A and B are shown apart, each in its own frame.
Chain A
Amino acid sequence: SAVISQKPSRDICQRGTSLTIQCQVDSQVTMMFWYRQQPGQSLTLIATANQGSEATYESGFVIDKFPISRPNLTFSTLTVSNMSPEDSSIYLCSVEQGANTGELFFGEGSRLTVL
């Protein structure tokens, strides 16, 4: 298993500002995943972050809006840029047990409210 720490746990932000979410894992992992969870909706994968390479973004998500860093095998950040109220959501960091198993460990999430 893996223990994942995310911060901030919640924040209230003003429209047009940017916020960086940090994700720390207690073990080295190859891939880290960033998800968005909007109220009443399913989890949506934003991007996959591999150490030493550019993140891979899913359809509908772009690097300019959601830049990701992955400086080492235990840490990643997701920035939500130029925020609008539509970005209000829970953002979750996760890692996988093994490779391509579908068994994910999640952080507790970062709840962002954009005014």
Chain B
Amino acid sequence: EDQVTQSPEALRLQEGESSSLNCSYTVSGLRGLFWYRQDPGKGPEFLFTLYSAGEEKEKERLKATLTKKESFLHITAPKPEDSATYLCAVQALSNYQLIWGAGTKLIIKP
């Protein structure tokens, strides 16, 4: 069964303290892996798509990487405005429906 597991469920960091969020996946052929950001009271906002192992994408303080079993979202020198829930989703080769993880709630304290 295709599934996505994100860890940790929540992560509290001090401003400037770099860390990583994990997204482990099991899928019968990966079409793409997606990262979204969700602020409280808002819908998710698309960040990145990764297609193959070894691929990396960057946006400001965020860098997403992909292996054959997991993806990491690295956050470098985070700021309070980076506080949000980060969602990971995968899309299998067999169909186009996204399979979502439960998210990691990131809190950056000033």
Instruction: Write the residues of chain A forming the contact surface with B, with a CB cutoff of 8 angstroms.
Output: 4, 40-45, 58, 92, 94, 97, 100-109, 111
Interface majority SS (helix, strand, loop, mixed), chain A: loop
Distance from A106 Cβ to chain B, minimum over Cβ atoms (Å): 3
Interface centre among B41, B43, B102, B103, by most chain A C-beta atoms within 10 angstroms, is B43
Q: If the complex has contacts A92-B43, A94-B43, are A102 and B96 also in contact, measured as CB distance less than 8 A?
A: yes
Chain B residues bordering chain A, tally (CB within 8 A): 23
Query: Whole-angstrom distance between the alpha carbons of A100 and B92 in the complex?
Result: 11
Q: If the complex has contacts A42-B103, A102-B32, are A4 and B43 also in contact, measured as CB distance less than 8 A?
A: yes
Binary flags per residue of B41-54, CB closer than 8 Å to A gives 1, else 0: 11111100100000
Distance from B83 Cβ to chain A, minimum over Cβ atoms (Å): 17
